[in-house]
């Protein structure tokens, strides 16, 4: 599971410092050095770590020692709060329209888990939020993607709209909108094509669909196993499409987790969901405070 070694290391560091009755400048600097090393080893972006440590230092110096906490605990609390800040202080729910059809566009590189996430989200909003979603297969590049979405749709009892691989993605999206209105669906989730690399053709196709659909949410799936490159990919998509939310997939994998901590901080796009496995139920709504607790133990 992501963050295991980061979590272990931070906990050891914290234990060390909270055990000390008095906090000297040396103790604190030692501790901050350890925190810094732990984050870098977990593959967190260098600039993000640098800013993080600077903020912790500034707060620790500027804060009166709280009476209820010993100085070590106080510094631990500051680090905790800063990690929550990195992950986003508030939950970021989907942007449902008050009236009319809500549209969600899923984007991301091939293999990141976009199709799976489309179905997982349809399942969650149907079951937990009483929505009536329609899934749309706009990934017409990969015939297998359409079949995969249909199979997933059957499993969760959500209709999948597809016009096959012969129809262009934009036309499929247009017809799907009309279909969803006619059938009285309240939410449409578009699974779009991904490529192994970002290219102009992909972005153009996504921009065309965006221009027609006016998505209430554009969710970018990013694979936690990608490491630092996650940040470049997210930046490229965000620059071209104004992404409104991230779906971090494969958090169950054996990654160091650093990319995840960096991506929100650098793009400033909130994480809305996390994927925790291949099964349809393996999706959680993202809560920054709970994730911080998991990292900090
Ligand atoms: P797409 O090309 O982006 O649409 O990716 P897919 O949805 O086809 O997923 C690619 C592979 O990743 C599939 O084998 C999925 O089962 C797997 N996958 C997707 N999400 C997760 C996740 O959260 N955890 C794990 N372990 N596997 C995932």
Confirm or deny that 108 is annotated as ligand binding: yes
- Protein residue with its CA nearest to atom 19 in ligand 1: 113
Confirm or deny that 126 is annotated as ligand binding: no
Q: What is the model's pLDDT at position 196?
A: 84
Q: What is the model's pLDDT at position 225?
A: 85
Task: Enumerate long-range contacts of 12-15, CB under 8 Å, 24 or more apart.
Answer: 13/38, 14/72, 14/76, 14/79, 14/296
Query: Residue 49 C-alpha to ligand 1 middle, in angstroms?
Result: 29
The answer to whether the beta carbons of residues 127 and 120 sit under 8 Å apart is no
User: Which tokens is 211 given?
Assistant: 């221009």
Ligand 1 atom nearest residue 142's Cα: 2
List, in order, residues 6 or more apart from 85 with CB less than 8 Å away: none
Q: What is the model's pLDDT at position 28?
A: 81
Q: What is the model's pLDDT at position 185?
A: 98
Strand pairing of 271-275 and 283-285? antiparallel
Q: What is the model's pLDDT at position 280?
A: 96
Q: What is the pLDDT along the chain (297 residues), one digit of tens a residue?
A: 667 888 888 888 888 777 766 667 787 888 889 999 999 998 899 999 999 999 998 888 776 555 556 777 788 888 889 999 999 988 899 999 999 999 999 999 999 999 999 999 999 999 999 999 999 999 988 889 999 999 999 999 999 999 999 999 999 999 999 999 999 999 999 999 998 888 899 999 999 999 999 999 999 999 988 878 888 999 999 999 999 999 999 988 877 788 888 999 999 999 999 999 999 999 999 998 888 888 887
Q: What is the model's pLDDT at position 54?
A: 94
Q: What is the model's pLDDT at position 63?
A: 64
Q: What is the model's pLDDT at position 163?
A: 96
Q: What is the model's pLDDT at position 21?
A: 65
Ligand 1 atom nearest residue 139's Cα: 4
Compute the distance between CA of residue 269 and CA of residue 267 in angstroms, rounded to an integer.
5
Query: Residue 36 C-alpha to ligand 1 middle, in angstroms?
Result: 32
Q: What is the model's pLDDT at position 9?
A: 86
Q: Which is nearest to 92 in space by CA: 186, 206, 197, 217?
A: 217
- Protein residue with its CA nearest to atom 5 in ligand 1: 113
Query: Tokens 């020692």 identify what position?
Result: 65
Out of 116, 145, 250, mutate this one to test ligand 1's pocket (max ligand atoms within 8 Å of CB): namely 116
Q: What is the model's pLDDT at position 1?
A: 66
Q: How big is the chain by its Cα radius of gyration, in Å?
A: 21
Query: Residue 279 C-alpha to ligand 1 middle, in angstroms?
Result: 9
Query: Tell me, what's the ipTM?
Result: 0.99
Show the ligand 1 pocket: residues with CB < 6 angstroms. 108, 110-116, 145, 148, 194, 221, 249-250, 252-253, 275-278, 282
Confirm or deny that 144 is annotated as ligand binding: no
Q: What is the model's pLDDT at position 76?
A: 84
Confirm or deny that 114 is annotated as ligand binding: yes
Confirm or deny that 36 is annotated as ligand binding: no
Q: What is the model's pLDDT at position 64?
A: 56
User: Which tokens is 67 given?
Assistant: 């009476």
């Amino acid at each position: 599971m992501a963050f295991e070694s980061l979590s272990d290391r931070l906990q050891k560091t914290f234990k060390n410092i909270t055990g000390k009755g008095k906090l000297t400048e040396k103790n604190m600097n030692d501790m901050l050095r350890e925190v810094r090393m732990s984050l870098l080893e977990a593959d967190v972006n260098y600039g993000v770590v640098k800013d993080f440590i600077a903020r912790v230092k500034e707060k620790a110096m500027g804060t009166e020692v709280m009476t209820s906490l010993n100085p070590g605990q106080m510094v631990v609390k500051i680090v905790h709060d800063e990690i929550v800040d990195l992950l986003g202080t508030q939950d970021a729910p989907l942007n449902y329209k008050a009236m009319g059809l809500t549209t969600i566009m899923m984007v991301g590189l091939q293999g990141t888990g976009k199709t799976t996430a489309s179905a997982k989200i349809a399942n969650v909003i149907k079951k937990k939020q009483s929505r009536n979603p329609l899934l749309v297969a706009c990934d017409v590049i990969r015939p297998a993607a359409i079949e995969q979405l249909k199979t997933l749709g059957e499993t969760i009892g959500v209709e999948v709209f597809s016009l096959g691989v012969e129809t262009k993605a934009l036309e499929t999206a247009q017809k799907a909108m009309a279909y969803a209105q006619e059938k009285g669906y309240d939410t449409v989730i578009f699974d779009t094509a991904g490529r192994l690399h970002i290219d102009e053709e992909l972005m153009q196709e996504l921009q065309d669909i965006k221009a027609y659909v006016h998505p209430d949410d554009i969710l970018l799936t990013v694979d936690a196993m990608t490491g630092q490159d996650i940040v470049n990919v997210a930046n490229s998509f965000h620059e071209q499409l104004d992404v409104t939310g991230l779906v971090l997939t494969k958090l169950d994998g054996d990654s160091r987790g650093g990319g995840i901590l960096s991506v929100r901080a650098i793009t400033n796009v909130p994480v809305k969901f996390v994927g925790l496995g291949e099964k349809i139920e393996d999706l959680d709504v993202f809560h920054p405070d709970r994730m911080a607790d998991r990292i900090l133990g």
